[in-house]
Amino acid sequence: MSETRAEIRLPSTTLRDDIAFFTSVLGMRMDMIYPADDPQVAVFSGHGLRLRLDTGAREPAGTLRILTDAPNAFADGARVLHAPNGTRVEIDLLTPPLVMPETAHSFVVRRLADQAPWVIGRAGMHYRDLIPDRLGGSIIASHIRIPDGGPVPDTVHYHTVGFQLIFCYRGWVDLVYEDQGEPFRLEAGCCVIQPPEIRHRVLFASDNIEVIEIGVPAEHITTIDHDMELPNGPSNPDRRFQGQRFVHHKASEATWTPFRIPGFEASDTGIAAGTNGVAGVQVARRTTGPVATSSHDGDILFTFVMEGTLTLEAAGRDPVALSPGDAFVIPPGMAVRYTEPSDDVELLEVSLPGVFATTLL
């Protein structure tokens, strides 16, 4: 059976000094050296890497990053070193902590009619940014579509996040999740939360599928898991992923109760309970009666208009007519009123935290 290896070549000017540095300081193993009488090449391995130091190499010395879960115990705690050959060596955390930026509160309105660009992202999906300023990096909200249905070129992966929501707006998509049993179909009006680092994969999508994806914080790492195969066994619905439980809300099983704002009713998705209060997700629709002016004391309150129309009146702002595909963010303490709601208006509301107070004005 044939064997294939890859290695990185770096220049060397004084091989003897480089050997001492890469073995004694960086803890790598020297596997090869030649010629014996006047060494010009040495090969090292360690930390998942194979290096060839060559006195005849002419490329730049480059940067080597070593990731460890104990950086203070590596290389006497140094975080930046320079090898004799000029290579910069950076020592960093193997798993960096999730940083949750402080929310930069702002009033945001994003209308579909304004023709914001769609960009091609991961797995060929089209992304439309619903919160351009990201509230200081605290959240990203994306309107995602796949024009042509069929198999999705996705791989098993996970996200290092604090909270992540997938809400199916149009069409349907087949998904599979770690410890959640067999693949299932997420249909329009239904949603799931992807707890931190749960492995998952998108399998198949209908034509013109559209989803709303919320991620907290805005910048988070997506990691491919090359070892796990999904499905990975029987369902374990009670498993917690960093304190959060997988939730699959089905629109067909929704129960409706009065919304926080009179004149609407809402379906609670169970996400506030599933995340231990990190976030909440509700679908609100018009009922009867007057709509009150209100304010809230939450940190982030994002709303996406799924159906119907309304006019958003916010203190100190011009009224904005909204229709399907539009989104807005109301900062805490701002007085707002949803006027002229059509009978078929339907809103997706996402809040952080999951429970907050609404004041009627």
* CATH assignment at residue 83: 3.10.180.10
pTM score above 0.85: yes
Does residue 88 sit in the same domain as residue 128? no
pLDDT for position 243 = 96
Domain containing residue 190 = 108-250
Same domain as 207, residue 167 = yes
Please check whether residue 68 lies inside any domain of the structure: yes
Q: Does the residue 29 lie in any domain? A: yes
Are residues 213 and 261 both part of a single domain? no
pLDDT value for 282: 98
Do both 207 and 113 map to the same domain? Answer: yes
CATH number where 295 lies = 2.60.120.10
Residue 38 lies in a domain: yes
216/280 same-domain check = no
The count of domains in the chain is 3
139 and 201 together in one domain: yes
Query: Do residues 184 and 130 both lie within one domain?
Result: yes
The Cα–Cα gap between 326 and 245 comes to: 30
Residues 219, 349, single domain; the answer is no
pLDDT at 297: 98
The reply to whether 245 and 225 lie within a common domain is: yes
Does any domain span residue 98? no
Residue 288 within a domain:
yes
Q: Assess if residue 102 is contained within a domain.
A: no
- Side chain identity at 185, as an amino acid letter? R
Question: CB of 22 within 8 A of CB of 37?
Answer: no
Dihedral, CA atoms, 230, 234, 240, 245, nearest 10 degrees?
80
> What is the CA 220 to chain-centroid distance, rounded?
5
Alpha-carbon dihedral 264, 269, 274, 277, rounded to 10 degrees: -10
- CA–CA gap between residue 358 and residue 361 (Å, rounded): 10
Out of 250, 284, 317, pick the residue that ends a domain. Answer: 250
Strands 150-151, 172-177: parallel, antiparallel or unpaired by DSSP? unpaired
Q: Is residue 2 part of a domain?
A: no
pLDDT score for 123:
63
Cβ burial of 127 (10 Å; 0-12, 13-18, 19+) is: middle
Q: Pick from 93, 116, 142: which residue ends a domain? A: 93
Residues 225 and 164 occupy one common structural domain: yes
CA distances from 274 to 58, 231, 310 (A): 56, 22, 31
Q: Is the domain of 262 the same as that of 175?
A: no
CA 270, CA 248: separation in Å to the nearest integer?
9
Residue 354 buriedness (CB in 10 A; 0-12 / 13-18 / 19+): buried
244 and 265 fall within a common domain: no
Average pLDDT along the chain, 361 residues, taken 10 residues at a time: 93 96 98 95 97 96 96 95 97 92 97 84 81 96 91 93 98 97 97 97 94 96 96 94 97 96 96 97 96 97 98 97 97 98 98 98 95
Last residue of a domain, one of 250, 277, 309: 250
99 domain residue, yes or no: no
